[in-house]
Amino acid sequence: MFTFPKPSQPSSEGHNTAPHTLHYVLVLDRSGSMSCRMDEVRHAVNDQIATLAREAKEDGNTCLLSVVRFDSEIEPILIERNVQDVKPLTQEDVQPRGMTALVDATVLTIEQAAALVGSRIDGEKESLAIVVYTDGGENASRHRSGSDLTRVLEKHQNLPGWDITFIGASPEAFSMMERAHFRAEKMVHVDAKDSGWAMREMTGFLSDKMRSRKEMAIREMQRQRNR
């Protein structure tokens, strides 16, 4: 189990008058099966962070980043940090290990994000993007169940300003999310070898949401890949 500590946000001073604040939560699989692709995914995430930092500065918006890594355990390593102050993720930050507690990671993160910033999300001044990535199927959750996943999605995924999205490099994981009634336009199924590509493609959706409050219909990514 984990909880998000309440963030002290000294790094966001001076941004209170920004036209839009995007709370971006990345839920990143670092289970043992990621060993052959973690470097590529990590570099893609670091490129994404750099792009969001640059665009936030240029446009006068604010992006507050949280990163939750998961394997058999779920661990937040960044909480509501101004993206302009975030250092690149290191190999040690996301060293592959363990199994895949995908349900725990997804449900607990949604619950904690709702408790931390949910009351502030209106889709205009502030919005929330949760991106869950995994290359494997569920095999290690102990604290939450499939019915809990359905419950939190039903409660939160249609709220104004909320975007809960899923990138799955596993047919089993994708099918599980479908059974939980994850919104189809918020999911994309990719080959494991395309994981880095998918994370880079997410940058455009996140940028659009930060800049114009645009809903992230990431299924478009799959259509583009299939052309």
Report pLDDT for 19.
Answer: 80
Domains of the chain, earliest start first:
18-226 (3.40.50.410)
Asked if the model's pLDDT at residue 57 lies above 60, the reply is yes
Report pLDDT for 13.
Answer: 43
In angstroms, rounded to a whole number, what is the distance separating the alpha carbons of residues 61 and 82?
11
Q: pLDDT tier at 34 (50, 70, 90 boundaries)?
A: very high
Report pLDDT for 6.
Answer: 65
How confident is the prediction for the chain on average, in pLDDT? Answer: 92
User: Which residue stretches of the chain are H helix?
Assistant: 38-59, 102-117, 146-156, 171-179, 195-212, 219-226
Asked if the model's pLDDT at residue 98 lies above 90, the reply is yes
Quote the pTM value. 0.93
Asked if the model's pLDDT at residue 9 lies above 70, the reply is no
- Determine the Cα angle at 186 with ends 184 and 187, to 5°: 70
In angstroms, rounded to a whole number, what is the distance separating the alpha carbons of residues 165 and 113?
14
Tens digit of pLDDT for each residue in 123-161?
A: 999 999 999 999 999 999 999 999 999 999 999 999 999
Tens digit of pLDDT for each residue in 63-88?
A: 999 999 999 999 999 999 999 999 99
